[in-house]
Chains A and B, each alone.
Chain A
Amino acid sequence: MAEPIVLSLKKLGDAGARKAIARIPVPEGEESPMPEVQLRGLSGQLGALMRLDHPVRIEAEGDLGDYAFAFNAQADVRLNGSVGHGVGEGMIGGAVRIRGDAGHGAGASMTGGTLAIYGSAGPRCGAAMRGGGIFVRGDVGEETGVGALRGTIVIGGDAGANLGDAVNNVTIFIRGRAESLADGVTEAPLRKREQLRLGLMLINASIRGDAKEFRRIVPVAMLEAEQAKRGEVVPNWR
C-alpha cells in the first residue's frame, strides 16, 4: 500500500491544497484503494477544501471554520476536530466524517453522499437537502431537516424543537427524544425493511447501534400513502 501523502493546509493555502489533491494519481480498477492524504495545518480556516472532486481518502487533524468540504463530490474525508456552520453544504457525493461538533446547517442543501457527525450538530441540520444521508451520533438543534426534499437523516441523540418542518420525501430516524415534532410529520412504525436499511446505513457511517433503538419520523401524507400502499392518487401534501 502506498505511503500517505502529507499536505499542510496552512502552508499551501486552500487553493494550493486542492490543486495538490487534484494532481494525485488514482490507481485504476475498482478494487484499488483510494490514495490517502494526511492533511495538517488546520486552524479554523473558512471554506476549506470545498468542491473536492477527486477520489482520495483524506485524514485531517484539527478544527475547521464555516463551510468546510462544501460541494464535496468524490473525496472520503475523516476529520478529527470540530467544524463551523454549513459543513458539507451542497455535497454531491463521497463521504465526510467529522469526529467533533458541527454548527448550524450541517449538510444544508446537499444532493448526495454521506455526512456523518460524531459529536452534535446545531440548528437546521439537513435543511433543504435534496438527497444523500446525514448521521449525527449526538444531538441536533431545532428545525432539523427544515425544507428538505429528499434524503435520510439519522439522529443518535435528541433533537431540538420543530423536528422535520416542511420535509417532503425524507425519512428521519431518531434514537432519543425530540423537543417537538413539526406540524405535518408523525412518528411511524419502524418496519422490518427500514430496520435493515437503517442497520446498513449505520454500518456504513461507522456508527454503533441497533436499528431497533430508533424511531421513524415521516410526513403524515407519506405515511398515509404508505398505508394505502401508494394508491392511484398521489395526495397533495399541503
Chain B
Amino acid sequence: MTPELTMTWEPMQERLAPLCLLPPPTGTPWAGVAWEGAGGTIPRRHGDPIVMEMPLFWYDPGWHRVPAMLAGVFAQAVARLGVSVSALHREVTPPGRAPEDGSPLASVHPALRMLPYRPERYGLRLNDFGTADVIDVRLAMVRDEFGRFAYPPAQIKRWEATTDEDPLAGGGWLPAATLPPDVASIDHLASKLDQLRLLAPEAALFVSLGPVRIDEELPRVAAASPDGVVLRLDGFPLDGITLASMTRRARETLTRHASPETALWVVPGPLAPADAVKLIELGANAVAIDTWCDPVLLLATQIRPPSSLSPMTSESSFAGNVEAFVREQLTMPIETFRGYAFSANQVAANDRLGTFDESWARSFDVLYLR
C-alpha cells in the first residue's frame, strides 16, 4: 500500500442533531442486553424473507470513476463489512474478462447485492439477475456532474465496453429516462415487477423514487406491490427537519397504501452515524452511506494495482491491500453506527427519541425534553 494513503475522518456533522437518542430511565436494571445485531429481514410478498446483515447500503457507487479491477475488489471489501452494495457485473469486471468468469459480485456475502435496474438498462446483462438479492427499479432521474439528466461518457464506456476509437454517441453524454420504456405508465408498474420476480425469484423487488410529488407517486408505486421502496433524498438540499419528516411521511404513506412490512430504504445524502440510527427510528429500514464510501473509493485509486511492471503486486495482494484500506477507513463510522444502534436497542421502542426543540417535538410526536 502507498504509505501516504490515509484519510482522517472529520467529526461528521449531525443533520438530525436536535433529535436525541435517549438513554434508558434511571433505575433500569443493570443487565447485559441480548442483541442480535443491527440487521433484520426484508419481508417479501412472494417468497421467504431475506436476511440483512446490517441496515446500511451503498446506493450509487461511481464505479466508472475507478478502474474495474479496483471496483470489483472494493465492492467485495465493503460487502465484507456487512454493507449492501449496488453494482452491475459489467461495472466491476475488468475489460476482456467475461462477467461469467468469476465476477466479484458472486461473493458479496454476508451483505446483499443490489442490482440497479435503470429504465434504460445500459450495461445490464441477463446474468445480473442470477446473483442479485435486491432488484432496485430506479424511477428517480439521475443527474450527471454538470446537472443534466444524463449519463456521462465514462459510465457508458464502462457499461457497453466501448473503445476509445469507437465510442457511443461520439463520446458524448446520453439522456436518462424516467420510466422503463416497456412500462406504459407508473400505473402499469406491477407487470414489470412480476416479470422481474420471474427472472430473479430469490430477490426482493424495490422501486426507487425521489421526494418530489411523493404524495402522488408513492401511493401509485405502492399499488404495484414492491417488497420495498428506496426514497432518494440525496439530490435536494434538505435541512434536518425536512429529511426526518420526509422519512416519517414516506413510512406513513407506505403503511397506509401498502403494508407496514413494506421496506423503506432512505438515501439521505451526507449523514453521521447517529443520523442513520435516528432515520431508522423514524421509520426507515435501511440507510444509504454513499457519503462515507465514495471518498474512500476515490482515494483507493492510489493503491498500486497489479501490472506486468510490478510483478511483486499480484491480484490477491492487491485485493488484500484494498480490503485492509477499506476496513481501516470505514470501520470507525460503521462501528459508531452499530454502537448507537445497540444503545437504542436498550430503550423501549417508543422512548428512544426525544428533543429539546419544541418544533421538532411537535413535528415528530417525540418526548419534549423541557
Once the chains are docked, how many angstroms separate the CA of A149 from the CA of B170? 11
List chain B residues, Cβ under 8 A from A105.
Answer: 180-183
Once the chains are docked, how many angstroms separate the CA of A90 from the CA of B169? 21
With beta carbons under 8 angstroms apart, the residue of B122, B126, B195 that contacts A47 is: B195
Taking CB atoms and an 8 Å cut-off, the chain B residues in 112-132 that contact chain A are: 119-122, 124, 126
Taking CB atoms and an 8 Å cut-off, the chain A residues in 189-238 that contact chain B are: 221, 234-238
Once the chains are docked, how many angstroms separate the CA of A237 from the CA of B194? 37
Q: How many residues of A contact B (CB 8 A)?
A: 43
Taking CB atoms and an 8 Å cut-off, the chain B residues in 266-291 that contact chain A are: none
Query: B160 contacts the other chain (Cβ, under 8 Å)?
Result: yes
Per-position contact with A for B161-183: 1 when CB-CB < 8 Å, else 0?
00000011111111101001111
* Given A14-B198, A46-B191, A90-B126, also A124-B182 (CB < 8 A): yes
Could you say which of A3-11, A23-31, A65-73, A172-180 contacts chain B?
A: A65-73
List chain B residues, Cβ under 8 A from A150.
Answer: 168
Query: A132 contacts the other chain (Cβ, under 8 Å)?
Result: no
With beta carbons under 8 angstroms apart, the residue of B177, B184, B191, B192 that contacts A147 is: B177
Query: B45 contacts the other chain (Cβ, under 8 Å)?
Result: no
List chain A residues, Cβ under 8 A from B177.
Answer: 127-128, 146-147
Give how many A-B residue pairs fall within 8 Å (CB-CB). 114
Separation in Å of the B21 CB from the closest CB of chain A? 45
Query: A76 contacts the other chain (Cβ, under 8 Å)?
Result: no
B126 pairs with A51, CB closer than 8 A: yes
List chain A residues, Cβ under 8 A from B121.
Answer: 90, 108-109, 128
* Given A85-B188, A236-B170, also A166-B175 (CB < 8 A): yes
Task: Return the chain B residue nearest A67 by Cβ.
Answer: B195
With beta carbons under 8 angstroms apart, the residue of B124, B171, B173, B191 that contacts A109 is: B124
* Given A103-B184, A130-B122, also A237-B195 (CB < 8 A): no
A237 pairs with B122, CB closer than 8 A: no
Task: Return the chain A residue nearest B119 by Cβ.
Answer: A128
Query: B298 contacts the other chain (Cβ, under 8 Å)?
Result: no
- Could you show 30 A-B contacts with beta carbons less than 8 Å apart? A46-B194, A47-B195, A47-B199, A67-B195, A84-B191, A85-B183, A85-B191, A86-B183, A86-B195, A90-B126, A103-B182, A104-B181, A105-B180, A105-B183, A106-B182, A109-B181, A123-B181, A124-B182, A128-B120, A128-B121, A128-B177, A130-B122, A143-B181, A146-B181, A149-B168, A149-B169, A236-B171, A237-B172, A238-B169, A238-B173
Which residues of A are at the interface with B, using a C-beta cutoff of 8 A?
A: 14, 46-47, 50-51, 65-67, 70-71, 73, 84-86, 89-90, 92, 103-106, 108-109, 122-124, 127-128, 130, 143, 146-147, 149-150, 166, 168-169, 221, 234-238
Q: A109-B181, A128-B120, A128-B121 are in contact. List 10 more A-B contacts (CB 8 A).
A: A46-B194, A51-B199, A66-B195, A85-B183, A89-B182, A105-B183, A108-B181, A109-B120, A128-B177, A168-B168
